[in-house]
Chains A and B, each alone.
Chain A
Amino acid sequence: MLQKVYDWVDERLDITPLWRDIADHEVPEHVNPAHHFSAFVYCFGGLTFFVVVIQILSGMFLTMYYVPDIINAYESVYYLQNDVTHGMIVRGMHHWGASLVIVMMFLHTLRVFFTGSYKKPRELNWVVGVLLFFVLLGLGFTGYLLPWDMKAYFATVVGLEIAESAPVIGGFAKTLLAGGEIIGAQTLTRFFAIHVFFLPGALLGLLGAHFFMIRKQGISGPL
């Protein structure tokens, strides 16, 4: 039955080559920890992606309850944390995932650096990777404000003051991020938009480029 449905679609759209290309492509053996245990360092990139997937999924589910508004934001987070079954776990996954993704990305960056994998011909992929690093830090920074509790508010105040101390564009950058002179209602909606739409959009685009380049160039050879 399933086979027939598949054949029906395949006849019309010729999808087999698409997935066979991905499934059958070869990966060098030296990155497989089953062959050399020290190859576990090659897992960090994959784990970073895994946590990113968890972050996207848990974030999607959290927005079912969250309200980006200074009156209701805290109330809704408090509600989902304390009154919704497993709300605490899902929020916990998103909270700890934010830290884990930074840790994993940091380890991945160190692995790539110390194996010299950023050298010709993989310079561009390194640049995209560092941009991904910035995007994830930005996601961490904007996501921190959203619960609108004391810690969130004052950490953002400090963060925006640091932005303000930049020469020439500092004041402008701060106003742009905060959406006004004070850190309040407009800051929260802005950070929400950046955290949920702008940065994830950039993240997905860069990830696509990252994976495309890995696939095209292959994993760097053993040292």
Chain B
Amino acid sequence: MSEKKHRVSRRQFLTYTLTGVGGFMAAGMLSPMVRMALDPALEASGGSDFISVGIGEDELTGEPQRVDFNVEIVDAWHTSEQSQSAWIYKEGDEIVALSPTCTHLGCTVNWDANEDYPGNYFCPCHGGRFEKDGTNIAGTPPTRPLDIYDVEVRDGMVYLGQTNER
């Protein structure tokens, strides 16, 4: 390659410097702003706290029972209470708490609600059904099992954490 090809004209040099300075200014201006806008997306979602649902471990049976409890939702500067529910039963020593939200389109499922399907969770919206352990029954609309809560027992009382997909 000849030297000529490498020569940068004065005008080109100035243009490069200019875009460099311009880039610096844009970065200096925009980086704090963009970081602020991205904050909700970058914020590590702290695992939600465990909440007492007001039922003792010894009150649970093999039959799923519905518990309702309130969760405090902190939405930036706004705090509100949201009521949630869960279907809880005991499988041997293990406590299973299932979210009642149907994985099809988000209706609320009920245990043993339909006479035709005893021993199933039944969703009234589109007739979706789940086994007792939350597994979706093939041939009905839902495509994955019910979400499951993290469960903890403290002093004999049941505490529920966040829901997890299976």
A contacts, CB < 8 Å to B: 50, 53-54, 57-58, 61, 64-65, 72, 75-76, 78-80, 83-87, 89-90, 93
Specify the chain B residue showing the minimal Cβ separation from A89: B32
Cβ-based interface call for B1 (8 A): no
Are the CB atoms of A58 and B33 closer together than 8 Å? yes
Q: How far is the CA of A87 from the CA of B42 in the complex (A)?
A: 14
Q: When A84-B39, A85-B39 are in contact, do A72 and B77 touch as well, CB less than 8 Å?
A: yes
Query: Shortest CB–CB separation between residue B54 and chain A, in angstroms?
Result: 31
**Digit string of B41-56 for contact with A (CB within 8 Å is 1, else 0)?**
0110000000000000
Contact of B77 among A75, A89, A90 (CB under 8 A): A75
**Digit string of B1-43 for contact with A (CB within 8 Å is 1, else 0)?**
0000000000000000000000001000110111111010011
Are the CB atoms of B29 and A57 closer together than 8 Å? yes
Q: When A72-B77, A72-B78 are in contact, do A87 and B33 touch as well, CB less than 8 Å?
A: no
Q: Can you name 7 A-B pairs with beta carbons within 8 Å?
A: A50-B25, A72-B77, A78-B77, A85-B42, A86-B33, A86-B36, A89-B36
Specify the chain B residue showing the minimal Cβ separation from A23: B15
Q: How far is the CA of A79 from the CA of B75 in the complex (A)?
A: 11
Specify the chain A residue showing the minimal Cβ separation from B25: A50
**Digit string of B76-88 for contact with A (CB within 8 Å is 1, else 0)?**
1110000000000
How extensive is the interface on chain B, given as a class?
10 to 19
Neighbouring A residues of B78 by C-beta, 8 Å: 72, 75
Contact of A87 among B25, B29, B36, B43 (CB under 8 A): B36
Query: Shortest CB–CB separation between residue A29 and chain B, in angstroms?
Result: 15
B contacts, CB < 8 Å to A: 25, 29-30, 32-37, 39, 42-43, 76-78
Q: How far is the CA of A80 from the CA of B77 in the complex (A)?
A: 9
Contact of A57 among B30, B39, B43, B76 (CB under 8 A): B30
Q: How far is the CA of A80 from the CA of B39 in the complex (A)?
A: 10
Specify the chain A residue showing the minimal Cβ separation from B33: A61
Are the CB atoms of B32 and A93 closer together than 8 Å? yes
Query: Shortest CB–CB separation between residue B13 and chain A, in angstroms?
Result: 15
Are the CB atoms of A90 and B33 closer together than 8 Å? yes
Are the CB atoms of A79 and B33 closer together than 8 Å? no
Neighbouring A residues of B34 by C-beta, 8 Å: 61
Contact of A85 among B30, B35, B77 (CB under 8 A): B35
Q: How far is the CA of A89 from the CA of B37 in the complex (A)?
A: 12
Q: When A61-B37, A64-B37 are in contact, do A86 and B77 touch as well, CB less than 8 Å?
A: no
Neighbouring A residues of B32 by C-beta, 8 Å: 86, 89-90, 93
Neighbouring A residues of B37 by C-beta, 8 Å: 61, 64
Query: Shortest CB–CB separation between residue A190 and chain B, in angstroms?
Result: 22
Neighbouring A residues of B35 by C-beta, 8 Å: 85-86
